[in-house]
Chains A and B, each alone.
Chain A
Amino acid sequence: MNFNMKNRTIALTSALLFSAASAFAAGAQDSVVQEQKSLLQKLDSLQESVIGLKLNGTAKAGALASLAKSDQFSDDSPTHETQAYTDVNLLLTARPSSETMVTLQLRLHKDWQSGFDENNNPVIGHWFSYDGSILNKHLDFNLGYMRVAYTPLTLFAPQPFLLQEPEIFAQERIEALAQRNLDTTSRRLLQGLNVDYHSGQLGSIVDDVHAQLTGARLRNTAKKTDQLFFDFDFSDRYFYAGRLGVGIMGAKLGVNYTDVFDRTLSRESRGLQSGDTVYYEDNSLISVELGFDSKKLLPTLPVTFGLDGEFAMSKWSAEMEYFAAIREKMYTIAQGAVIDENGNQVNTIYVSTEDQPGDTEYKEDVGETDGNAFYVTPYVKADIAGIEADLKATYLKTDKDFWSEMASAPNYRGGSIILNSNALYSNEIYSSAIGAFGMSSLENLYLSVYNSNPLNATNLLTSQPLVNALSNTDESQYLYSKLYNNYKNAHFYRNGYDAGTIKRLELEQAVFTLDPTVNMALPFGLATPDRNGFNVSFNATWNDAVTLNAYFAQIKQDSVSVDLATGAAIENTYTEFAVGGNVDIGRLANLDRKILLQGSYDHAEEKEFLKRKSDRIMGGASADVWGPFAFQAGIQMAKTQFENELPVTAFSTITNVEEMFVLAGPKVRIAPNSYLTVQYGMLTDKMNLNTYAIGVDADGKETLVQGTEEISINKNVIIADVTVNF
């Protein structure tokens, strides 16, 4: 604890507050912004130079009640689900020197109740890292948790495309992401070591020489056989990467290399059992990036232009290891008796064959593919007469067999049931469809549940004893002798986001569960395989008060599926467009408060395959009303059509999904950066299904009977919480 700093910080604080106050009195807003920025830099440098231990964090306490209603619920279904909790994210930073810093984040969570003792409600370590900027700030390093991005084709986290997302929704999404330790940037969350060297300006020509090395473990094997946790794999999976780059006169050239592989030997700590199959995947990639920005050469021009481009070559291979039962013929010599031609019994010997069961471990290649990807993004930016505008176009082409795992997996997955997950349905069709498809996009994008529950037989997963934890996920026959006296809690998520990367073979199974309403054309960003097309975006802002955005994309996929009749590949075309804008009336009218209105519409569709069409319209308002009182509101409607039905279970398909989420309420500032928020939300989710069953026709023959069903669930959501940042 940095107790001896007390007096000094008080003095500094007063000085800074005074400076800030006089800055506001100064008048012209541009200069205010400049002065604010300068103050922020001072504060940053002040914070960063304090050596010692610091404790900061966020405490949040409140409730989220979801009152659901649906004709498809069974009569005894629970319809209310209330999260009532206190949650503290404690941030400890220790600075052994001004150059390096240890960061530790602890999460403390309690779900309100006083009906029984909760004894061991653990403190969860949320973030551990040792970071620094050494060698006169030329070398940055991160050890432990880190967020790193290289380029869109190598190391990257694609983000959902949500144009002019109302602030009230953005805040909810940020919170859901933060529970998973994620943020809205495209940096990927990793655990390992990252070293990043920048030379800075060398002479008058070289802007920068850049070298970076990154290594991380992505997965590890289960360490216990009796408990299955969600974050393990059958083998350790590692990632390493490096990049080199040079910048000259505003141009840059770089080479990037990444490799992800399963460490086969780590699987061998567990023996394979009959029926087990394990896949190992290796994915390496080399890319060359090229860029140019005119700002360096022509700094005085109000218009800058430039270009970013990258070409990448990927290599992917997989092998499988499995244990299978075989039957071998065993030959033995046996003695017997036969009747000879005279009718007498005589002794003889003969060769007897017998089937002998046996188990063998096999290892074989699944496949090896190479692919290339390429994109180029020319852009132009202008800053004229208070209007800042940029126009950007991207042409991209990726091979069908291009695969870049570290740039592909989006953090947003969807497909979960976040609220009222304990609801019961009146028939199997509804429950299995919801179980497989989850709730739709909006609930997954914006709502999340975090609980600390006592470990008990229903949430303590156990596997067969004395058998490996590879593929046998049956319950342990000793389940009831491994219970914890309701003594120990564990933290549980219900969240549409996930920090993990996805292997290519896993993705083939998971592709249907990805939410189609965001990034339909490029679900894995620019690294999406088998794409060829372009997109154009235009953004313009006037005086930070009025913003306009527009986006258009047309992208082809050579082979989305195969025509069953001819065997020919079916080509798909994705078309996307979006427009949006915002107006800050407060700024326009020169008021000292923000009154921001936002709105956008986007549409995406595909020509073949499922023939999906998705529309999203959203609008929002954020207004500082009076003193500490602000009001926020947002509405969002999303609609997805599957002209060719989306199979979700063996007997049902989805044809249409319509959703709406309205969220509004006051936000009261109770202290700087501390708020009381009360929000009411209405979430509606309607799904149309086609159902299939085997019936009997008039002739008594079995026939396929098709029907339709609609699942409609409305949820009234009440959110009330207090957030204190310290």
Chain B
Amino acid sequence: MNMKMKRSLFALLAATVASAASPVVDNQNLLESKVDSINAKRGLELGGSIRGVAQATYFDSDQDGTVKRMMPDVEKDEFVTADLDFHFRPYENVRANATMRLEAGMQEYFASAAKSISVAWINVEGNIGKSFYWIVGDFRQEYTPLTLFLPTVDIMYEPLVFERQRHMAQKSQFIEGNQRNLQGVNLQFRMMPNTSVGEIRAEALMARLNRAAVLDFSGAEGNVMTNAAMPGATQASNMDKWLAAGNFEMLPLNRNLYVGATGMFIFDDEDSFTYTDRHEENKLMNDYVREPINPYDLDAQQTLVVSGRVGGDVAGFLGNKNLTLDLVAEVAMSNDKVYTHTPTFVQDENGETVPGEELIEDSKESGMAILATLNAGYKTEVWGVKLLGNIIRNDSAWFNNAAQSPSFFAQRILNTDLDGNTVKYGVNSPLYSTFGALYSFNPKFSPVARSLGTDDAAFEDGQTESYNIANYNKNSWTTNVYGKSQLALLETLMDPALQMALPNGLATSNRFGGQGTLTANFKDFAEVQGLVTVLSQVKPMYGFEAVKYMEYGGGAKADIFKAIGFSKPLEISGSYKHSERKADLDPELGGAGTAELKSDFINGGLYVQYLPRLGVTGGVQLINTEYNTIQSNLSGLVAPLLKSKQMQWMVGLDYSIEKNAWLAVNFGIITVSNEYNTKALVEANKAGEPMETGTVKGGVFNIPDYYDVSKDKSGKYKNEFSQTIIEASLNVEF
């Protein structure tokens, strides 16, 4: 009986023969807890968000006539996600927060499988006085771009119709700006004794970045590369990985000067190294073997990062409110334990040479990173201009995974049932599109088995190399803190159209150069922007003499109706950005020539409101990427990519209540045309050994299964396909 149960919870000690505390103290505790409990009704707040998407994508390619397609070429993702935030404030200085995620797939035939309630976020927090704040459980934190940071992808003047899709995809992953989502203890102290001392901030946190827990290698989640026996492939950790950090900042002279220092230690607790028993190669007929939870990443991380920074707000000193002029310089050092594994060979009892135990040696590797940021600008009531400049110099040995783990890891999202075996290769999968990766998501996707039938045997045959036939979350956005080998693997899976120059944000290692963005506005209805990035690798990759990055572009947006005095907006926007990487082969190693990778990204957007809250949105995006012969051969693929043209357009009607509350119905088409060098396939066919495409085996996973070598005369193959999208979305944040 619950009433009694609750009472007994408080009276438990008395119920045992154990204790006989003073009745006054007991009663006092009871009294306070009851008063407190009544207070809790006062301190309850509810918040949250509701997101609903009904989206159908129709895949089409004129080239797939030769293949009898067994898998559906239409994907319908329909879901509603409600995040309910409970904030309990039983007393002035403590709070408990919990977010429950309620998910429903839109069908009613068998309801239970489609609905779930999960725990998305829980913590307790509080404050002591007005200066000290603590939080235990889930929290977000960002220090600086070189210390603790979540690097993201910038798209200049992204059309509203796409920006909203990205907003939903990111929110679905609980991403807030550049803050990293962590779980642990976070302490913050803020004080401003007087204006000359300014503000003092002292912060410390301890978070567990990973725990020794078994994950399946075959799952879509928990793996960077499913079913791949290589370092970085699985995110399962052999050891508990911890982050301990302290941050101190002072803003003296009325907050116009800035001095800061951060120390961070990321380490694996080696004494927690745990083993598990598995059937060898995931085959039941094989015996169980005891092996590390993650047999591909055995090395314990030990990384120390220290950072110091100074800055000044010149405009603040001058007291000029029209002027922006501040400069911050940060120097960070990392000291990381690195390992070399040397295979050894021994003679067995028969005198044969067999592999022996690996020889593992470790040493410390230090790296430095420098970041100087300038903010300069001037504004009047009519116009304004501002310049944001960053200069970086990050050593190749600079390493800090708490700042380098990117928030965008390009995934195959739309029509994944079609190339299920190869979707794990992300950007290298045959039907990848940048737009699908950036803008689409499904928090609870139910894949189709690759064989017909619903019995166990059919299900076994129906498994893919990229995921189990079970629900998973399709989303390229993440706040995972990756390990070193995972980051190395991610580097090979970056989308060059989005992440070429600084894939790991301003903390990307091995970069030297600058980045500048100049923005000018006229009143609040017109803005233009120009961007230039020039970077080079501090220590060129092996085999190259020099590696250089260049980005430039510009864009503008204007609200035409506002300019002519209408109350409702008619916004147009457009941007162009060119990114390129040039890598000169090292002549000392016998190389000659330059590997070139170029990509152009064009955006055009329109938003017009014709009735209160009712509007039309439209957007078009184009991406052209080109690889020269040397660059394409660097991929190591049998049939490397030479050119990729991607276009997406979308138009829609929307009903906007406020910035993040809308109902929209959109229609759009993504078209992709990828040209590959297929000489090796043609030659293999001529030699009577045709190679299978669209499968994991044989290294031709990037060419679709409908590729027909008999029609390939030139050794160049153009894969063209389109995805037609019909989408209705609802987003409400309250």
Nearest Cβ on chain A to B180's Cβ, whole angstroms: 8
Contact B208 A487 (CB under 8 A): no
CA distance A5 to B43 in the complex (A): 12
What 1/0 flags go to B14-31 for Cβ under 8 Å of A?
Answer: 011111111111011111
Contact A671 B38 (CB under 8 A): no
Please tell me if B276 contacts chain A, counting CB pairs below 8 Å: yes
Segment at the interface with B among A83-91, A264-272, A498-506? A83-91
- Our pick among B3, B136, B213, B271 for the contact of A86 (Cβ within 8 Å) is B136
User: Which residues of chain B are near A573, meaning CB under 8 Å?
Assistant: none
- Our pick among A40, A46, A484, A541 for the contact of B20 (Cβ within 8 Å) is A541
Please tell me if B686 contacts chain A, counting CB pairs below 8 Å: no
A673 nearest in chain B by CB position: B33
Nearest Cβ on chain B to A401's Cβ, whole angstroms: 32
Please tell me if B675 contacts chain A, counting CB pairs below 8 Å: no
Please tell me if A111 contacts chain B, counting CB pairs below 8 Å: yes
Contact A115 B210 (CB under 8 A): yes
Please tell me if A1 contacts chain B, counting CB pairs below 8 Å: yes
Chain B positions 7-51 with a Cβ under 8 Å from a chain A Cβ? 7-9, 12-13, 15-25, 27-44, 46
Contact B136 A61 (CB under 8 A): yes
Contact B20 A725 (CB under 8 A): no
CA distance A110 to B591 in the complex (A): 53
Please tell me if A277 contacts chain B, counting CB pairs below 8 Å: no
What is the interface of chain A mostly: helix, strand, loop, or mixed?
mixed
User: Which residues of chain A are near B42, meaning CB under 8 Å?
Assistant: 6, 9-10, 13
User: Which residues of chain B are near A43, meaning CB under 8 Å?
Assistant: 31, 34-35, 38
- Our pick among A113, A147, A458 for the contact of B5 (Cβ within 8 Å) is A147
CA distance A481 to B479 in the complex (A): 29
Please tell me if A352 contacts chain B, counting CB pairs below 8 Å: no
Segment at the interface with B among A29-37, A334-342, A408-416? A29-37
Nearest Cβ on chain A to B364's Cβ, whole angstroms: 23
CA distance A624 to B46 in the complex (A): 37
Contact B119 A457 (CB under 8 A): no
Please tell me if B116 contacts chain A, counting CB pairs below 8 Å: yes
Contact B91 A672 (CB under 8 A): yes
Segment at the interface with A among B345-353, B466-474, B537-545, B548-556? B466-474
Please tell me if A185 contacts chain B, counting CB pairs below 8 Å: yes
User: Which residues of chain B are near A530, meaning CB under 8 Å?
Assistant: none
A: contact size bracket: 35 or more
- Our pick among A57, A479, A544, A624 for the contact of B284 (Cβ within 8 Å) is A479
CA distance A101 to B24 in the complex (A): 30
Contact B2 A76 (CB under 8 A): no
User: Which residues of chain A are near B274, meaning CB under 8 Å?
Assistant: 78, 422
User: In the complex where A82-B272, A483-B216, A486-B219 touch, is A544 in contact with B38 (Cβ < 8 A)?
Assistant: no
What 1/0 flags go to B92-124 for Cβ under 8 Å of A?
Answer: 111110101000000000000000111110111
Please tell me if A236 contacts chain B, counting CB pairs below 8 Å: no
Contact A9 B468 (CB under 8 A): no
User: Which residues of chain A are near B235, meaning CB under 8 Å?
Assistant: 115-116
User: Which residues of chain A are near B397, meaning CB under 8 Å?
Assistant: none
Please tell me if A399 contacts chain B, counting CB pairs below 8 Å: no
A484 nearest in chain B by CB position: B470
Please tell me if B1 contacts chain A, counting CB pairs below 8 Å: yes
Contact A482 B40 (CB under 8 A): no
CA distance A664 to B567 in the complex (A): 68
Please tell me if B463 contacts chain A, counting CB pairs below 8 Å: yes
Contact A114 B182 (CB under 8 A): yes
Nearest Cβ on chain B to A212's Cβ, whole angstroms: 12
CA distance A193 to B675 in the complex (A): 70
Contact B15 A485 (CB under 8 A): no
User: Which residues of chain B are near A465, meaning CB under 8 Å?
Assistant: 456
CA distance A161 to B460 in the complex (A): 53
Contact B38 A6 (CB under 8 A): no
Contact B473 A84 (CB under 8 A): no
User: In the complex where A61-B124, A108-B100, A114-B480 touch, is A457 in contact with B44 (Cβ < 8 A)?
Assistant: no
User: Which residues of chain A are near B29, meaning CB under 8 Å?
Assistant: 673
Chain A positions 430-464 with a Cβ under 8 Å from a chain B Cβ? 452-454, 456-459
Please tell me if B482 contacts chain A, counting CB pairs below 8 Å: yes
Contact A131 B96 (CB under 8 A): no
Contact A117 B473 (CB under 8 A): yes
CA distance A127 to B4 in the complex (A): 14
Please tell me if A584 contacts chain B, counting CB pairs below 8 Å: yes
User: Which residues of chain B are near A115, meaning CB under 8 Å?
Assistant: 209-211, 235, 237, 241, 480-483
Please tell me if A598 contacts chain B, counting CB pairs below 8 Å: yes
Contact B221 A116 (CB under 8 A): yes
Contact A86 B480 (CB under 8 A): no
User: In the complex where A123-B117, A146-B1, A183-B8 touch, is A88 in contact with B33 (Cβ < 8 A)?
Assistant: no
Please tell me if A274 contacts chain B, counting CB pairs below 8 Å: no
- Our pick among A16, A80, A145 for the contact of B240 (Cβ within 8 Å) is A80
- Our pick among A44, A483, A671 for the contact of B90 (Cβ within 8 Å) is A671
Nearest Cβ on chain B to A418's Cβ, whole angstroms: 16
Contact B271 A80 (CB under 8 A): yes
B: contact size bracket: 35 or more
Nearest Cβ on chain A to B643's Cβ, whole angstroms: 34
B467 nearest in chain A by CB position: A485
CA distance A56 to B443 in the complex (A): 30
Please tell me if B282 contacts chain A, counting CB pairs below 8 Å: yes
Please tell me if B278 contacts chain A, counting CB pairs below 8 Å: yes
Contact B216 A456 (CB under 8 A): yes
Which of B24, B173, B235, B241 has most chain A Cβ within 10 Å? Answer: B24
Please tell me if B198 contacts chain A, counting CB pairs below 8 Å: no
User: Which residues of chain A are near B459, meaning CB under 8 Å?
Assistant: 478, 481-482
Which of B34, B210, B472 has most chain A Cβ within 10 Å? Answer: B34
Please tell me if B248 contacts chain A, counting CB pairs below 8 Å: no
Contact A671 B93 (CB under 8 A): yes
Contact A594 B473 (CB under 8 A): no
Nearest Cβ on chain A to B297's Cβ, whole angstroms: 11
User: In the complex where A32-B24, A183-B8, A486-B221 touch, is A80 in contact with B35 (Cβ < 8 A)?
Assistant: no
Contact B37 A129 (CB under 8 A): no
- Our pick among A20, A60, A119, A584 for the contact of B472 (Cβ within 8 Å) is A119
Please tell me if A276 contacts chain B, counting CB pairs below 8 Å: no
- Our pick among A112, A622, A670 for the contact of B207 (Cβ within 8 Å) is A112
B222 nearest in chain A by CB position: A486
Chain B positions 468-493 with a Cβ under 8 Å from a chain A Cβ? 468-473, 478-483
Contact A114 B122 (CB under 8 A): no
User: Which residues of chain B are near A81, meaning CB under 8 Å?
Assistant: 272
Chain A positions 59-110 with a Cβ under 8 Å from a chain B Cβ? 59-62, 67, 76, 78-82, 84, 86-88, 90-91, 93, 101, 103, 108-110
User: Which residues of chain B are near A10, meaning CB under 8 Å?
Assistant: 42
The 8 closest A-B pairs by CB, nearest first: A115-B210, A486-B222, A86-B137, A112-B183, A165-B18, A59-B96, A36-B27, A486-B219
A-B contact pairs, 28 of them (CB 8 A): A5-B41, A13-B38, A13-B42, A20-B35, A36-B23, A48-B3, A60-B124, A76-B273, A79-B272, A112-B184, A114-B480, A116-B210, A131-B2, A162-B17, A165-B17, A184-B8, A194-B1, A453-B214, A454-B215, A476-B456, A481-B462, A486-B221, A487-B220, A545-B22, A624-B25, A672-B35, A673-B32, A726-B96
Q: Which residues of A contact B (CB under 8 A)?
A: 1-2, 5-6, 9-10, 12-13, 16-17, 20, 29, 32-33, 36-37, 39-40, 43-44, 46-48, 54-57, 59-62, 67, 76, 78-82, 84, 86-88, 90-91, 93, 101, 103, 108-117, 119-123, 127, 129, 131, 140, 142, 145-147, 159, 161-167, 170-171, 174, 178, 183-185, 194, 422, 424, 452-454, 456-459, 465-466, 475-488, 539, 541, 544-545, 547, 549, 582, 584, 586-587, 593-594, 596, 598, 622, 624, 670-674, 722, 724-726
Q: Apart from A10-B42, A78-B274, A166-B19, what are 6 other A-B pairs with CB-CB below 8 Å?
A: A80-B269, A163-B18, A164-B18, A167-B18, A486-B215, A671-B36
